[in-house]
Structure 1
Amino acid sequence: MRAALLILPLALLASGCVARTAANIVTLPVKAVGAGVDAVTTSQEEADRNRGREIRKQEEREAKERKRAEKDARKRAHEQGQPY
C-alpha cells in the first residue's frame, strides 16, 4: 500500500518530465534554425549601427592624422625659425 502511494506521485512527475522533454525535442530544430538565421543575417538596425561605428572610426583616424601633420608642420617651421 505504501509503495503504491509513493509510486503514483513519482509516475505523475515522471510523465510531466517526459512531456516537457518531448516538447523540447520537437522545438529544438526550430530554435536551432532560427538561431542560425539570426547569426547569418544582419538586420537593418545592425547594419546602420555598424556603418556609423565605421564612419566614427574613420573620422578619428583622419583627426589623428591631421593633428600629426599639424604637429610636424609646426616642428619643421620652428626648426627653420619661421612662425607657424
Structure 2
Amino acid sequence: MKSLAFAAVLPVLLSGCVVGTVAGAAVDVVTLPVKVASAGVDAVTTSQSEADEKRGRELRKQDEKRGKLARAMADRCRKGRPLPTDTCATQPN
C-alpha cells in the first residue's frame, strides 16, 4: 500500500523538478545573447582604470628614456667629448 501511494505521488513530486529544469534552461537561452554581447563590448572597450594604467606605463617609459639620455650626456661631458647639442655645465676653477 505504501509503495502504491509513493508511486502515485512520485510523478507529482518530480514534475516540479522537470518544470524547474525547463524554466532554468529557458532563462539561460534568453540571457545568452546578452552575455555574449556584453563580453564583446568589454573586449573592444577600455575602462578608465585600464587607460590610466596604459598612460602611466607610457610616462614611465618616457622618464626612463630621458634619464638614459641625460646620463649619456653627463658621461660625455665628464669625458670631455660632448656633442654639439649637449649642454655641459662649466666647472669653476
Q: CA 1:26/1:80 → structure 2, altered by over 3 Å: closer, same or farther?
A: same
Amino acid at match of 1:61: K
Q: Within 2, Cα distance between the matches of 1:25 and 1:80?
A: 79
Q: Within 2, Cα distance between the matches of 1:81 and 1:2?
A: 105
Q: Say which is worse superposed, 51-60 or 12-21, in terms of deviation.
A: 12-21
Unmatched runs of 5 consecutive residues or more in structure 1: none
Number of equivalent positions:
81
Q: Within 2, Cα distance between the matches of 1:79 and 1:12?
A: 95
Rg larger for: 2
Report what 1:47 is aligned to: 47
1:60-71 aligned within 5 A: 60-71=60-71
Q: CA 1:81/1:32 → structure 2, altered by over 3 Å: closer, same or farther?
A: same
- Calculate the TM-score normalised by the size of structure 2: 0.66
* Higher share of residues assigned helix: 1
Q: Within 2, Cα distance between the matches of 1:81 and 1:51?
A: 42
- In the TM superposition, residue 29 of structure 1 has moved relative to its aligned partner by 2.0
- In the TM superposition, residue 81 of structure 1 has moved relative to its aligned partner by 7.8
